[in-house]
Amino acid sequence: MTGKGLVHIYTGEGKGKTTSAIGLAIRAKGRGKKILFAQFFKEKDSPGELAVLEQLGISTIVFDTIKSPFFNPEINRDHLKAEVIKALRQIQKLFSEEHPDLVILDEFICLVSERVLTEDEAVAFIADRPEHIEIVLTGRGATERIINLADYVTNMQNIKHPFDKGISARTGIEI
């Protein structure tokens, strides 16, 4: 992408944050852009979209050792923090090795909302990226400070969801 890369946020309680980010990745790939798609708090074999993204030539990485403390309350937070710092360093290395135009950090916002990263650390990481990189951050609980850093902010609002009726996530639709 030419010029200064902007910051996108997809946040909120509703469904569609990752799906929206993937749509943007496909659009950018269709225009010849180089994309890096990284996921936190997800299992490597879980998301069905990864195989398709890889078939499209989109570089993907899943940090499956980084588990959500919300869903894994027994997790050692010091170890988790060390894994996140290691992952962020790896992403920074990929900035210079792969020279992506668009970087999607799926569930990055949850690293802050679940208190794995401090807001200062998250803001520093976002601000420290190469200037040309367009960056997309997804996850629930975007803070006001991170929102103020962004150029695009979309809040996905949950109005109605099958989970409210006891219907679990379905393969190919939600996962």
Task: Tell me the three state secondary structure of residue 73.
Answer: coil
| C-alpha to C-alpha distance for 124 and 122, rounded to whole angstroms | 5
Domain coordinates of the chain in residue numbers?
14-130
Whole-Å CA distances, 1 to 75, 110, 127, 151 = 39, 27, 17, 16
| C-alpha to C-alpha distance for 91 and 109, rounded to whole angstroms | 16
Average pLDDT over residues 25-34: 97
Q: Are 164 and 21 in contact (CB under 8 A)?
A: no
State the greatest distance between any 2 C-alpha atoms of the chain, in Å, as a whole number.
47
Q: For residue 104, what pLDDT is reported? A: 98
Q: What is the mean pLDDT of the chain?
A: 91
Q: Residue 2: pLDDT above 60? A: no
Which ranges in 31-76 belong to alpha helices (H)?
Answer: 49-55
* CATH superfamily placement of domain 14-130: P-loop containing nucleotide triphosphate hydrolases (3.40.50.300)
Query: For the segment 88-145, what is each residue's pLDDT rounded down to a tens digit?
Result: 999 999 999 999 999 999 999 999 999 999 999 999 999 999 999 999 999 999 999 9
Of 60, 68, 69, the C-alpha closest to 21 is 60
Q: Which two tokens stand for residue 103?
A: 């970087």
| C-alpha to C-alpha distance for 24 and 71, rounded to whole angstroms | 28
Average pLDDT over residues 44-54: 78
Beta strand ranges found along 22-156 (DSSP E): 35-40, 59-63, 102-106, 134-138, 152-155
Q: Residue 26: pLDDT above 70? A: yes
Q: For residue 10, what pLDDT is reported? A: 98
Q: Are 155 and 20 in contact (CB under 8 A)?
A: no
Residue 1's pLDDT band (cuts 50, 70, 90) = very low
Average pLDDT over residues 1-10: 86
Average pLDDT over residues 36-65: 86
Q: Which two tokens stand for residue 164?
A: 């409210």
Q: For residue 170, what pLDDT is reported? A: 78
Here the contacts of 79-82 (C-beta below 8 Å, separation 24 or greater) are 80/116, 81/116, 81/117
Query: For the segment 143-169, what is each residue's pLDDT rounded down to a tens digit?
Result: 999 999 999 999 999 888 888 888 887
Verdict on whether the full-model pTM lies above 0.85: yes
